[in-house]
Amino acid sequence: MTRLLLVAFVLAAALGSQAQAPQRPATATPAGNADAGRKLFVSVGCYQCHGYEAQGSSATGPRLGPRPMAFGAFSRYVRQPPGQMPPYTAKVVSDTDMANIYAFVQSRPEPAKEIPLLRP
């Protein structure tokens, strides 16, 4: 009985401390400027593989917008890509520039909404 109470007390204390521990916030998407991001997208060469509207191509690079992956994953991928894409270090693309490029990619319209024949 004493062991059972001791185990219950330790378990309750452990769960209580976890509940009171501050939660780490999810990686928030930083505010970015889509217009500045468009200029950066072109000037650092993203358009060469992903197209001027981040639409991508099966021959050169995937579509990035309008719903890109979460900012944290996007940033990690740009900084340390596993494939053929060159890495864009903070020396090449600052964190602020990254947020601007991400804002541009997010701002891309849905393709079907822009082409009347593809609308439902």
So what's the pLDDT on residue 28?
A: 78
Residue 113 confidence (pLDDT): 63
State how far the alpha carbon of 84 is from the alpha carbons of 32, 60, 75, 87, 98, in Å: 27, 10, 16, 9, 19
Give the CATH fold of the 34-113 domain. Answer: Cytochrome Bc1 Complex; Chain D, domain 2 (1.10.760)
Confidence check: pLDDT of 87 > 90: yes
* pLDDT attached to residue 109: 86
- What is the DSSP-derived secondary structure letter of residue 57? B
Average pLDDT over the chain, rounded to whole? 80
Work out the pLDDT band at 79, boundaries 50, 70, 90: very high
| pLDDT on residue 22 | 42
Say if residue 54 is exposed, middle or buried (CB neighbours under 10 Å; 0-12, 13-18, 19+): buried
Task: Provide the residue type at 21 as one letter.
Answer: A
3-state SS class at 61: strand
Q: Can you tell me the distance from the alpha carbon of 89 to that of 87, in angstroms, rounded to the nearest whole number?
A: 6
Start-to-end CA distance of the chain, whole Å, equals 67
Q: Residue ranges per domain, the chain?
A: 34-113
What percent of the chain is predicted at pLDDT more than 90?
57
**What mean pLDDT do residues 43-55 have?**
95
- The answer, yes or no, to whether the previous bond of 68 is cis (omega within 30 of 0) is no
Q: How confident is the model at residue 19 (pLDDT cuts 50, 70, 90)?
A: very low
Tokens coding 76: 């990690």
Query: What is residue 30's predicted lDDT score, i.e. its pLDDT?
Result: 85
Token look-up 């940033």 returns 75
